[in-house]
Amino acid sequence: MIESWRWYGPFDKITLPEIAQTGATGIVTALHEIPYGEVWPTDRIAARKAEIQAAGFDWVVVESLPIHERIKRGEGDLSQLFANYRQSMANLAANGIHTICYNFMPLIDWTRTDLDAPVARGGTCLRFSAPKMAAFELHMLGRQAAEADYPEDVRKDAAVWFQQSTEQDRETLLHSIMSGLPGAYDRYDIAGLKRALHGYDGIDRATLRANYRRFLEEVIPAAEDLGMRFCVHPDDPPRDLLGLPRIVSDANGIAFALEAVPARSNGLTLCAGSLGANPANDVPGIARRFADRIHFAHLRNVRKDPDGSFEEAAHLEGDTDMVALIDALLAEERRRTAEGRADAVIPFRPDHGHELLSDIGRGTHPGYPLIGRLRGLAELRGVAAALSASHGAAQARA
């Protein structure tokens, strides 16, 4: 497995020399400064790649090449947007970058209600509170249809939180929910979010699926021609939010995505945390089922509460069996190697870490501190080394 690290380029307070000290060899990044829908110019890609290589890394995955909201809504003449997307793909391939992670979540990306929830032995973590999200939808947005999206006990807790909250508490909640958007664009205030949500009026799950299939039909043939690996990131959290359907939240959603255009280049980013937030998801089982189409892995863990809340756990301490998951990925690598596949080695990165020690107060991207992810990478590296040694010993005995 290729140990990699997400870096936000000029937006990141963590430097490439610091990342080098983690032992990671691959960088996962994007041109976050380019607005959605515009072409990524070849010279800008080349400049970013040269910067990464000069620091001793390979640019192993683009995360992400964002999809314009009009494509998700299926709105108007999309031919230019599709053409721009394919041109960006071609420009990346021309620079030797062949793996693209993306998502098809409508309007907002990963969503948390708390960016600095306390951790038992010190430090902070990201948290999704179902009552706070319900309070945001019901009492701040005034979306009364959300009554049907939350059970009664969560709605009661939401009302209590809202009644006791200050204006600063509500501003902090809005900021937290908006913080999952990775680029420099499309942050919303309450009025702006309401307007943006109206753009999705009438778009149900079936419509969003149809729009997603159309997107795949437009780009996967180009990915095949370019020798690219395209890998969808599951919804985070894996549930509908703000009245918007989310369609890649479980094994059925993944199967739809991969079967919509059944080509090897149409693959999956196996995100253990996103999938792990759904109590019905067997994450190692999903990894084994779709192993042949996994092009990239996000390894992190979550601890779930009965009311639908969850928080980021330490990488080996949450509800997902991380040892079993890594074992499944290593087994797939061995299978691909035996087949002689060029994509035998799967890049992974330690996803969302706790803010620990000098991380606290540094102001790094939420979920992407230095020390917390370094701890996660060290733990994951140890698991992979132990499993590989165990397999090697078993093979020697055989």
Known active-site residue 368 = yes
Known active-site residue 319 = no
Question: For the chain, percent helix, then strand, then coil, each to nearest 5?
Answer: 45, 15, 35
Those residues with Cβ within 8 angstroms of residue 76's Cβ, 6 or more apart along the chain or in another chain: 70
Contact (Cβ atoms closer than 8 angstroms) between residue 315 and residue 298: no
Paired tokens of 50? 């040269």
Known active-site residue 365 = no
Q: What stretches of the chain show up as alpha helix (H) in DSSP?
A: 16-20, 42-54, 69-73, 79-94, 130-135, 152-164, 167-178, 190-198, 205-226, 251-260, 272-276, 283-289, 322-339, 370-397
Catalytic-role residue among 68, 233, 295, 354: 233
Q: From 283, 289, 315, select the one nearest 302 (Cα to Cα).
A: 315
Catalytic-role residue among 295, 351, 354, 359: 351
Catalytic-role residue among 85, 102, 212, 368: 368
Known active-site residue 139 = no
The CA-atom distances, in angstroms, between 286 and each of 89, 229, 269, 324 are: 28, 19, 12, 11
Catalytic-role residue among 298, 315, 327, 359: 298
CA 203/CA 194 separation, integer angstroms: 15
CA 156/CA 140 separation, integer angstroms: 15
DSSP states along 252-291: HHHHHHHHHS--TTEEEEEEHHHHHTSTT--HHHHHHHTG
Catalytic-role residue among 101, 125, 231, 271: 271
Contact (Cβ atoms closer than 8 angstroms) between residue 293 and residue 266: yes
Active site residues: 233, 271, 298, 351-352, 368
